[in-house]
């Protein structure tokens, strides 16, 4: 087979694969958007292209006295921002210590991080429930934030530590010759060069509270303290069995803060990569 023909066949298969993946991703999204614009509440009467589209469900979410949607949104944003900020700070400090210093238990600490990632988080749900109940943080947003931050440290620390290892130690030594201390090296050298990976960690930790259902469902009990995932579940459970269209409208709006943070992080990542490449 000629190289030119072979190349065209490969490109055709690549585009075919991308088209299939686009359909797989876009079809459920199109259904959700279409369902949110249907005037009814039933899943079976909804259509992907509404004959008479309406914004009734979006209006109900924000204006109805029976809707706690804005409260759930506020709770989710608080948990997401706190989780992202605190996780980045703790993760970067832990990763810096494991990457740059030698201390007793360093090797076994890294093994512990790796081992903890092998077990599903579902195994710890009973222990988490009992622990939060003992310290009085059950059914509270601080308790949920604490679990999110603690549960994501092993993976994030291992990820950031691997990035820190790629930064030449000669930069640390040069900074110390200029009089920088440990924190000076961390804030002036490591953090600016680690912007790409820290942006990824911040994005993942920001997204988690919006899309996670199981953990908030176990920890939170009062409707006023629900996050969006738990609150929207009430639209399709036994009490609100037919409000699938409202559920769809609420789900679409969840994507807005995630998309905004992603766009911001994307620009931030590019800036960090170029800065890191220049300084390296």
List, for residues 222-280, the tens digit of each pLDDT value.
Answer: 988 999 989 888 777 755 456 788 888 888 888 888 888 877 777 666 554 444 443 44
Residue 254's Cα: distance from chain center in Å? 12
Of 81, 78, 35, the closest CA to residue 58 belongs to 35
- Name residues whose C-beta falls within 8 Å of residue 258's C-beta, 6 or more positions apart in sequence: 206, 207, 210
Query: Using an 8 Å Cβ cutoff, are 166 and 197 in contact?
Result: no
- Whole-prediction pTM value? 0.83
Give the separation between CA 250 and CA 259, rounded to whole angstroms: 15
Under DSSP, the state recorded for 12 is H
The length of the chain is 280
Of 195, 165, 180, the closest CA to residue 95 belongs to 165
Give the separation between CA 3 and CA 14, rounded to whole angstroms: 16
Q: Is the pLDDT of residue 115 over 50?
A: yes
* Region of poorest pLDDT, from 45-49, 76-80, 81-85, 258-262: 45-49
Give the separation between CA 97 and CA 232, rounded to whole angstroms: 41
Query: Using an 8 Å Cβ cutoff, are 248 and 32 in contact?
Result: yes
For residue 263, what are its two tokens? 């766009």
Of 164, 242, 241, 158, the closest CA to residue 196 belongs to 164
């Amino acid at each position: 087979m000629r190289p030119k023909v072979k190349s065209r066949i490969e490109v055709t298969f690549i585009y075919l694969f991308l088209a299939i993946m686009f359909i797989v991703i876009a079809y459920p999204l199109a259904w959700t958007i279409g369902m949110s614009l249907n005037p009814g509440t039933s899943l079976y009467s909804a259509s992907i292209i509404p004959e008479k589209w309406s914004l009734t469900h979006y209006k109900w979410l924000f204006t109805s006295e029976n809707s706690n949607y804005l409260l759930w949104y506020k709770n989710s944003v608080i948990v997401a921002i706190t989780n992202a900020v605190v996780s980045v700070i703790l993760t970067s400090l832990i990763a810096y210590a494991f990457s740059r210093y030698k201390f007793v238990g360093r090797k076994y600490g890294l093994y512990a991080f790796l081992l903890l990632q092998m077990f599903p988080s579902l195994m710890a749900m009973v222990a988490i429930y009992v622990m939060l109940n003992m310290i009085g943080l059950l059914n509270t947003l601080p308790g949920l934030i604490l679990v999110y931050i603690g549960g994501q440290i092993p993976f994030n620390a291992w990820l950031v530590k691997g990035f820190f290892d790629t930064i030449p130690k000669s930069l640390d030594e040069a900074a110390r010759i200029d009089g920088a201390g440990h924190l000076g090296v961390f804030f002036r050298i490591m953090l600016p060069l680690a912007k790409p990976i820290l942006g990824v960690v911040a994005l993942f930790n920001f997204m988690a509270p919006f899309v996670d259902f199981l953990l908030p469902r176990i920890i939170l009990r009062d409707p006023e303290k629900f996050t969006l995932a738990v609150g929207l579940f009430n639209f399709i459970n036994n009490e609100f069995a037919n409000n699938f269209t409202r559920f769809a409208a609420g789900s679409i709006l969840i994507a807005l803060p995630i998309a905004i943070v992603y766009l911001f992080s994307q620009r931030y990542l590019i800036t960090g990569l170029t800065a890191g490449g220049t300084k390296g």
